[in-house]
Amino acid sequence: MGITVLVTDDFDHMSRVAADIVIRQIAGTLGGKEQMALGLATGNTPTGLYKLLAEAANRGRFDPGRIRSFNLDEYVGLPGENAQQRTVHPESYACFMIREFFGLLGKGFMETSVPWGSLIDQKRLIRELRQSREDWEPRGTDAGKSIVIKARAASPYLAWIRKDILDGYRRKIRAAGGIDLQVIGVGGRGHVAFHEAGIPFKGSSVMLVKLDENTIANAVKDGHFATAADSPNYAVTMGVELVYRAKTVLLLANGERKIEPVTRSLLGGVTPEVPISYGQVYAEKGGNLIYVIDRIAARELLAESRQLNHRGIVLKNLAKQ
C-alpha cells in the first residue's frame, strides 16, 4: 500500500493523530473478524498515544476484550533474584505497559504478551555463552549483536532459550494469526525495538541481542538507570523481519534525536545500519507503512519533499506552525 508521512506540530498533536489512526484501524479490523492482534512498543514516544487509546476504550469506542497485544521487546538482566522480581522491576517493559497503558483500561485486553526476557538469568546466560562458545554465533557489524543460538546447542540452557523463549514467542504471534497493526518508535541510530544498527535483516524473527553501548548510554541519559553498570546488557526482541510482517506498521517519532534516522530511513538506501529503512522493502511488497512525526523530526523530509514525491512517498503536513 506504500508509505505515508504525516507531519504534526508536537508530541501532543502526534499522539492525537496516531490515536485516530489506531482507533480507525481497530474498528476496521474488528468489523471483519472476531479478534485483533495489536503490536505495541515501549519508550517515551507512544505514551501519549496509549493514554488516548485508554480513554477511547473506556468511553466505549472499541472493545479491548477482543484484542490481543504483543510487545516488541523486554530486557534481560534487570535487578532481581528471580523472574518474578525482574518482571515487576519498575524498568521492566511489562511494568511499563501496566503503568502507561494496561492499568488505565477499565476493561482489559483479552490477552497481553511481552517477550519473556525476565525468565532469563543474565549471569547464567553470560556464563553459558562463555562456556559453550560452539553453540552460538554473533551477528552484526557494530557493537550491538544478535546472539544466534544453534539449533542443536549442547548447552541445555541455551537450547531452552532458543526453543521456548525466542521461538516460543514467534509461535505465539503466528498462532494469533500475525499482527494486524504494529506500533513502533525509532532509536537514535534508526533501530526498532532492540534490533540494533548493523544486525542483519535475514533471519531476524525473535532475537537475543547483546546491546550496543549507545543503547545503554541512552537508557542512562533518559533516566532509566543510574549508571551503565546498572543497565541490562541483553534483551529479547522482535527483529525487523517479524516487525514488518504486520498488516500495518505505524511509526512514531519526535524531536531532534530522530531527525537523522527518520530521514535516512526514507531518503537513503535499505541498510541494516538503519534498521527502520527495511520499511522501504515492506512497502514495496504491499505493506501499509505510516509515519506520524512532529515537525522537528520531519525537518529534513520537509526540505526534500520533491524527492519523497519522486519515490512515491505521500507527505501530508498537518502542522499549523
pLDDT given for residue 185 in this prediction: 97
Q: What is the CATH number of the domain that holds 215?
A: 3.40.50.1360
Q: What is the pLDDT along the chain (321 residues), one digit of tens a residue?
A: 799 999 999 999 999 999 999 999 999 999 999 999 999 999 999 999 999 999 999 999 999 999 999 999 999 999 888 999 999 999 999 999 999 999 999 999 999 999 999 999 999 999 999 999 999 999 999 889 999 999 999 999 999 999 999 999 999 999 999 999 999 999 888 999 999 999 999 999 999 999 988 888 888 888 888 888 888 999 999 999 999 999 999 999 999 999 999 999 999 999 999 999 999 999 999 999 999 999 999 999 999 999 999 999 999 999 986
DSSP 182: E
Q: Report the alpha-carbon distance of residue 34 to residue 32 in Å, rounded.
A: 7
Nearest by Cα to 166 from 88, 243, 242, 238: 238
0.85 surpassed by pTM: yes
Nearest by Cα to 149 from 128, 170, 169: 128
pLDDT given for residue 177 in this prediction: 97
Q: Report the alpha-carbon distance of residue 278 to residue 195 in Å, rounded.
A: 12
Q: Report the alpha-carbon distance of residue 159 to residue 165 in Å, rounded.
A: 10
pLDDT given for residue 266 in this prediction: 98
pLDDT given for residue 181 in this prediction: 98
- Cβ–Cβ under 8 Å, residues 36 and 26: yes
Q: How far is CA 236 from CA 94, 118, 196, 198, in A?
A: 13, 9, 12, 17
Strand partners, 250: 183, 290
pLDDT given for residue 58 in this prediction: 98
Instruction: Please report which helix (H) or strand (E) contains residue 7, including its range.
Output: strand 2-8
Nearest by Cα to 172 from 116, 234, 118, 240: 116
pLDDT given for residue 231 in this prediction: 87
Q: Report the alpha-carbon distance of residue 293 to residue 290 in Å, rounded.
A: 10
> For residue 282, how many other CB atoms are within 10 A of its CB?
22
The backbone torsions φ and ψ at residue 308, rounded to the nearest 5 degrees and listed phi first, read -60, -45
What value, to the nearest 5°, has the Cα angle with vertex 237 and ends 234 and 241? 135
- Count of domains in the chain? 1
Nearest by Cα to 23 from 43, 6, 38: 38
> For residue 201, how many other CB atoms are within 10 A of its CB?
17
Q: What is the DSSP pairing of strand 248-253 with strand 288-294? A: parallel
In b/e form, how buried is each residue of 51-90, taking b as 16+ CB within 10 angstroms? Answer: ebbbebbeeeebebeebbbbbbbbbbbbeeeeeeebbebe
- Cβ–Cβ under 8 Å, residues 246 and 182: yes
Local structure of 26: helix, strand or coil: helix
pLDDT given for residue 228 in this prediction: 85
Structural domain span for residue 52: 2-317
